Every structure is written in structure tokens, then in C-alpha cells.
Chains A and B, each alone.
Chain A
């Protein structure tokens, strides 16, 4: 089994969350009950520019959907993937080509080959983690529903 820990490093996760502005979500569904839609909705609510990448959708969450990453006419910081693992190497190659800074693979999207391509292209990689949960853990409000954030701090945060 792949050792996932290098791709679940809290420091990398927090850097990606803080640095990204434009997030392309590959496999974003317009079905409001799908996990990808929850993540896209949440990201948009928290100030990220969300760009859907899904050839089967015209528009998701009020944004035009593109068939592939290469079709997006503007720079992308983060590529978040809701696709089967075998689609990841191709997506990773495109992510490198469009100049993204990070590749994020959601729960269960495990692709050692995709990771290798993205890492070689200089991207930060997060794997088998949920963008929404990690944002809610470090920046958002996951704790209001009794989930463990693992955050221990006696510092007063700006509010």
C-alpha cells in the first residue's frame, strides 16, 4: 500500500488552503446531494473562485463548466479531483500544463502515478483527504458539530 502520510502533511494542507484562490473541481456535479457539490458550494461560500470541470455539465453552482482543465481560459491555483483513480494521471499532466500550484485528491482517489507526475511538475499534492473537511478543520467551523479538529492552541484568533 502507498504511504499516504507525505500527502496528508498538515503544513502542506494549510499552505494549499491559504494560497489557493481559484479552484478547479474535476468531476463537480450539479446534483446538490453529491459530495462534490457540497465541496464546491462550501468553497465558493468561503471565497474561493470555483471552476467546474465536467464534460457532462453545462453549468454548476452558477459557473460555466469546462470539459477539461486545458479548456479553462484563466489561471488555476488548485485542482481538486472527484474522479476514479485511473483518471488521475491524465488530470495530473493537465494540471502541470496549466500551471496549477497544487493537486488535491479527494477521499478514495488514490493514484501513485498521478502523484508522481504532479510532484515532478512541482505541485504540492494532498491525497485521500477532503478539501471541505480540511478547510473546516483549520480555518472553518467543523468544531461546532462536535468533530475533532485536532487543533490545540491557546492563542486568540482574529475574528
Chain B
């Protein structure tokens, strides 16, 4: 074998988390991925410029559409998820809306889990109305409900690996089979599990979306998102003329025919990102790369801390329930064993045995947990969903999403677990009226 050839070796997850997408920069030898803080790129000659714009050659044109620092993050994410490529966006919600916009036309229908992140529920409803697309929410735990909701116009199924904030674990294989029976893709938001805990594509998901704002970054410094494609879905099956047919938005190019399994990602980048413009900045991509390097190490600590705290909470009399899918008595225990053997994430809810006031008192009592609307930070976070993230939802939708007036959501960080338990004790003391 020539010494220059890339050997046929399967690298492990930890190695790929540090190396994928980040070869040394050939001009300077820089070992870190440089921050290419540039809006645009000088073309070698008019022929090259034309080839880039025609998508005949892989090259940089303008940072709304591609950027080398962002591309390094995209390649690493795609590699870790087991996809063929990725497109990064300015936020998780920009990634989701762009993924959907690329494959939907008016008159289509989508089926989504009712137990999604509140912001996603709002986005799907709003997007459906604006695109004249029908939307059905289903109980994600019942595969038969997914199957029943599918109709001729259905073009996609959407769910989260671990629901927020109910902790529902998706039976990915079953729901993917329902999607494929209907010849439509399954899109999975894998933000809560990260590719370290679960890789939905290995179970049949076609497209994975992320809010990289969360565990992928881990530092809570930046907002970002990504769409990863398995390359397995057949866009030329007759249901997706919008992806398969010659595109008037790209001088008649038929993305799926010309680029094969890369066609959807090409269209997502060259049309949707170009036209809707929600690009990730190079600096943010750099920060997310730093986060990804330690993802496996952090996730191990996140999940073990979360289990310790969940177990401690579940033994308390003033807690009505702990909805951590890793607890042995969780209704999701069998699905957790199958899909999340390394741990069921670090975001979960518990229910105080009293109402809204108690929830707010509890939050007043803690001092190490940060009271804010985010998850997946290295720092532990706390929120009372009924009065914050989910306040836009009506009572029925709240119940469907599994939230009660005394529900508290925790995102467990990587601190010392005994300090987290100590802090939560302050919350309980405050709730019982003897806190500081």
C-alpha cells in the first residue's frame, strides 16, 4: 500500500470526536482548525468560479453557503452520527425549519410527536400554517398511533430520541419502519442523546437534526444547529418531486439524480441555506468544535451525575414522581436498554407533590443550579416549564407534553454530584418554608 493512502481502519468514537473533519491546515500547518473569519473567497480564475456556482466542483464561494471552519464542524458531526454529510445552521430551529422547507410543498402533511420541545411544537404549527402543510401530533409512545396518522399526503415523521421534558424514549426502529412503509423519511432530533449515547440512523432514521447549542457545545456560549443525512432515503420514489425533479431555483438541476445520495444535502445547502440564509458563523463553529472534542468525556459524567440525582430524588416523600428514563421503574426502561445503553441523557423532570407556587419556591431556594431556559450546559440548570418554556401551550397541549404545575426540569451538569444534591436540598427546604 502506498504510504500516502488513507488506510482502511475503523477509528473509535473518542478518536473521531477529536479528529474527524480536522486535518492539519496544509498552508500553515496549523493544528487547530483555523477560524476562517471571511465573508467570501477569491476565485482562481473565471472557469473555477463558474464550476463552483454550477456545483461541478467543491469550492468556497460565500460564507452564507459554506465556510471552512463550519465545514470542519459539519464533517465531524456527520462522522459521529454515521451520516454522509451535514449542513450547519445558525440555530437548532433554523436547522429544523430548513430541513423541512427543503422537502415540503403546499398540500403535504407531516406527523410529529406530541412530546417535543415546546419551541419545536410552536415552530411546526407556525411553519405548517405558512406553508399550507397539514400537521398531526401523535403520542410518540404508541407506534400504532403513528401508523394511523399517516395518509397519502404524508411526507415525513418527526420525533425526538428523548422527548423534552417528558423523557419519552422513541422506539426508533418501529417508527422508522412505519415511515418507510409509507415511503417517507423519519427525522429525529437527537439533541438530548447526542451521537455518543444514540445514533438514530443505526436504527433506521433518515435525517438527524441537532440543536448544537446544547451538549455538542457544552459550554453554553453559542447558538447553533445542524442537519445530518444518512444518504439512505430514496427521494426519487415518486413522492418528492420537490427534491427529485429539475429545480427552477437551480437552473434545472435535478438534485437527486445528479448527486445521488448527496442530493438532499446539496439542495439543503445550495438552495435552502442560500435562500433562507440562516448560516452558522465561523467563530461559533470553532467553539462547537472545541465542545465536540470532549463530548464523550462530558456525556459519561453528565449521565452518571443525572442517575445519581434522579435516584436521590426518587427516594424522597415530597417528590410525586421522577421521569428519568434510566430509572429501573421507568416505563421506558426497555427502550432505554435498547437505544441508550450508555445512559439516558442528563435532562429530566420531577414532580413536586404540590402546585405552581411550590415550584417557584423551589427555584428560589437553589444557588448552584442556574435558573434559565436552556439544557445541555456543563453547568447544572433548572427551570419550571409551566411558567416559562411551555407557557405558550394550552392546558391540553401541556398535559400532552407531560407537564404539571409542580413539574421541575433539571439539566444535570458535570459538577460534583454531592454538591448538586446539597443544592437541591436547599430548594426543598425553601419549598417547605424553612429555607434562606
Contact = CB atoms under 8 A, between A and B. Distances in A.
B244 interface: no
Interface stretch (A31-39, A48-56, A73-81, A114-122): A31-39
A10 B6 contact: yes
Interface residues of B, number: 55
A33 B54 CA distance: 9
Interface in B20-72: 20-21, 23-24, 26-27, 29, 31, 51, 54-60, 66, 68, 70-72
Interface stretch (A20-28, A84-92, A94-102, A132-140): A132-140
Contacts of A10: 5-8
B75 A133 contact: no
Contacts of B257: 34-35
B60 A144 contact: yes
Given A10-B5, A35-B260, A151-B6, A146 B23 contact: no
A158 B57 CA distance: 20
A18 B1 CA distance: 12
A33 B59 contact: no
B21 A143 contact: yes
B183 interface: no
A35 B258 CA distance: 4
Contacts of A151: 6, 23
Interface string A136-158: 10101111111111111111111
Contacts of B208: none
B79 interface: yes
A71 to B, nearest CB: 27
A15 interface: yes
Contacts of B15: 152
Contact of A146 (B27, B29, B260, B269): B269
B6 A154 contact: no
Nearest to B11: A152
Given A153-B23, A155-B24, A157-B23, A146 B2 contact: no
B88 interface: yes
A143 B59 contact: no
Contacts of B260: 35, 107, 130
A33 B6 contact: no
Given A41-B51, A45-B57, A145 B27 contact: no
B252 interface: yes
Contact of A144 (B54, B66, B265): B66
Contact of A42 (B8, B29, B57, B78): B57
B258 A11 contact: no
Contacts of A9: 8
B2 A15 contact: yes
From A35, A151, A152, residue with most partner B Cβ within 10 Å: A152
Given A35-B260, A145-B58, A153-B23, A14 B265 contact: no
Contacts of B253: 33
A9 B8 CA distance: 8
Given A11-B5, A146-B265, A38 B87 contact: no
B16 A141 contact: no
Contacts of A152: 6, 11, 15-16, 19-20
A15 to B, nearest CB: 7
A78 B54 CA distance: 26
Nearest to B21: A143
Nearest to B9: A152
A136 B254 CA distance: 21
Nearest to A142: B58
Contact of B85 (A33, A38, A145, A153): A145
B189 interface: no
Q: Nearest 3 pairs between A and B by C-beta?
A: A146-B74, A159-B26, A147-B85
8 contacts: A11-B5, A38-B258, A138-B6, A145-B266, A146-B66, A147-B75, A147-B85, A152-B20
Interface of A: 9-11, 14-15, 18, 32-35, 38, 41-42, 45, 107, 130, 133, 136, 138, 140-159
Given A145-B71, A145-B266, A153-B23, 4 more contacts: A35-B259, A144-B66, A146-B70, A152-B16
